Amino acid sequence: MARLHFSRRTRLASALVLLVIAFVSVTLATSRWMRVARFDLTSDRLYTLTPGTVDIVEKLHAPLKLTLYFSEHSTRDLPQLRSYEQRVRELLQEMVARAHGRLRLQVVDPVPYSDDEAAAEGNGLSPISGGTNGERVFFGLVGSTLPAASDAETDSDLHPGGKTLAIPLFDPSRETFLEYDIAKLLYELNEPAKPHIGLISSLPVQGNPVIGEEPWAVIRQLGQLFEVKALDPVKLKRVGDDIQVLLLIHPKRLSDDALYAVDQYVLRGGHLVVFVDPDAELDTAPFVDSNGVIDDHNSDLHRLFEAWGVQYDPQKVVLDRSRALRIELADNSATNHPAMLGLAGQELNHNDVVTASLQRINLSSVGYFDLAPKATSRLVPLLQSTTDAEVVPAQRVRESTSDPNALLDGYKPDNNRYVIAARVRGAFPSAFPELAKHAGHLARAADNAEVILVADTDLLSDRLWVSYAQSLLGPLQLSALANNGDFVTNLADNLSGSSALLSIHGRSSSQRPFTRVLALQSAADQKFLAKKQELQRELVVTRSRLSELQPGKAARGDAVSAEQKSEIEQFLQRQLAINKELRDVQHQLNAEIDALGMRLKFINIVLVPALITLVGLVYGWRRSRRNRRRP
């Protein structure tokens, strides 16, 4: 039998080939089956999913496909947007890794005039201008439900009954809510039907079909996204578990049965939004009816508010002259109305997902909320007044309808920010402790409950946020003047999600400032400012000296001129010296920044890899020693 002899070079080459094959195989295997084994070393755990997101992703019923549209070619000159796209993509990849095969991710570059660009537009993505060569930039996400056996199917295999939703644009300014927006998209794709919204209102928000009166625009807008179900407060004994959000608008004289139903709904974990008002201007009830009953057009939930630790006075209105809306009076003149407010900027809580993207909310004759002195609840403002506000009786506002300027007489702001809308959270007790023996009675919320309170109902009316224009084809076209409708939709949208979705709050931004560099620059700026001030002081002194020499110029002739020249020369020399010191400060700043950069590069490129290699070598050496000691 012949024996094969291999040279040393052949054996080494074969070993290297085998090592390469083994390395590639291990890399592919770990990337396929060990995706979850990752380490997030960022200081704010940016790439670690919150428990709420993990719960939503791991409980997906049907396979979903996510298509991330990003104009790669058109963003060559937009490094900040490209960096944010990497952040979005890595977050999506983390969700895919957690989904146990229930999520598929595809990244598409919709180049101009391509089918991909048409698909992006067709799915509702919003392009922005300003890309390379003026091209449009798409940066959004489209999610679709897939049949169960979808792994081997193509994009065209979406079943006819499939559901498709989109995030039209990933706005970097909304990065803190990136995880929430994506998790919300997944949750809505995973839900088979529209969420149910319960509605109890003493205002004609649903219109009157008998006389051809349409529902208010905000209700029509809600109807596009939710199943809105009107509940009769007279017959209400219990709010059904199918109601995911209950809207209680201008509650007046509710029966104990209805109040108890709302109380228990909240304690069971139901989501409630209450709109009350010290002066509901759309309330058509007579101020004094035929039985002599007085109605001030205000509303309150005193019994429930007291149980939740909330203070609210239905007879007080907040004025804010710095946010007064301009209105037209009956005599065609215009004036600013301090009881009609246009809130924007700092008056909106941009750290809350409901109000983060809103620009303006218009309100009228609003009240305010506060916590009771011994309340254990927590109040998180959504809408607030400015500090240039004061509180007046609601009756005074009603009497000033024809002359709003009368509200400014004796105006005295008290430097308080009044909370007009807020989340209230806490382990609420029941407002009906006397019914403790009733079957199924809940004495307290099992976990922290949450309600959202708004001290105005007029913001729901069309007059404060929409205008209508007749189109060429006949139907009226609605145009939004403020974000009132978005505010209400966001409230319902946020609360109709699962408890997991509600637990996802804003995260930190991935844009991390170079704090050390900024500190060095700040110190250098202070040095520059000191030198600049020194130069300016010397300039003033020199000019003063020259002005003193100027009157004696004719008498002393050349001597004065020589003294002036000497003075100017000294100033110029000092100016040159100070300029040199300024350059030295700048050089020192650059040197410190360069040194810091070199240290960081050394740590990231040399030190950390060297430490990891050293740890690996020590581990391998100790393991080999143990193996040699074994018999």
Q: Mind listing the pLDDT tens digit for each residue in 364-415?
A: 999 999 999 989 999 999 999 999 999 999 999 999 988 899 999 999 999 9
Mean pLDDT over residues 277-306, rounded?
A: 87
Q: Is-same-fold flag (51-189; 193-313+367-384+417-502)?
A: no
Query: What pLDDT, on a 0 to 100 scale, did the predictor assign at position 130?
Result: 80
Average pLDDT over residues 102-121: 91
Under 8 Å between Cβ of 127 and 138: yes
Q: Pull the structure tokens for residue 582.
A: 């300024």
Tokens 């909240």: give the residue.
266
**CATH fold of 51-189, please?**
Glutaredoxin (3.40.30)
pLDDT at position 469, please?
Answer: 62
Reported as a single tens digit per residue, the pLDDT across 579-593 is 677 667 666 666 766
Q: What is the CATH number of domain 193-313+367-384+417-502?
A: 3.40.50
| % pLDDT > 70, the chain | 77
Which strand (E) or helix (H) includes residue 28? helix 8-33
Determine the pLDDT at residue 159. 42
Q: How confident is the model at residue 195 (pLDDT cuts 50, 70, 90)?
A: confident
What pLDDT does 39 receive? 56
**Mean pLDDT on 75-86:** 88
More confident residue, 614 or 522: 614
Q: Please list, in sequence order, all residues whose beta carbon lies within 8 angstroms of the beta carbon of residue 506, skipping any fewer than 6 positions away.
A: 176, 177, 180, 351, 352, 353, 356
Predicted TM-score of the model (pTM): 0.66
Task: Give the confidence band of 120 by pLDDT, cuts at 50, 70, 90.
Answer: very high
- Residue 134 confidence (pLDDT) above 70: yes
- The domain segmentation of the chain, as residue ranges, is 51-189, 193-313+367-384+417-502, 516-629
**The pLDDT value given to residue 274:** 98
For residue 373, the model assigns a pLDDT of: 92
Predicted local confidence at residue 589, as pLDDT: 64
**Where residue 473 falls among pLDDT bands split at 50, 70, 90?**
very low
Residues contacting 298, CB < 8 A, separation 6+:
276, 277, 278, 279, 280, 314, 315, 394
Q: How many angstroms separate the CA atoms of 95 and 247, rounded?
A: 33
Lowest mean pLDDT among 319-328, 417-426, 565-574: 565-574
Under 8 Å between Cβ of 339 and 385? no
Residue 253: left if φ>0, alpha if ψ -120 to 50, beta else—which one? Answer: left
> Can you tell me the mean pLDDT for 436-458?
92
In three-state secondary structure terms, 561 is helix
Tell me the percentage of the chain whose pLDDT exceeds 90.
41
**Gyration radius of the chain's alpha carbons:** 34
- List helix spans (H) across 420-514: 484-495, 499-502
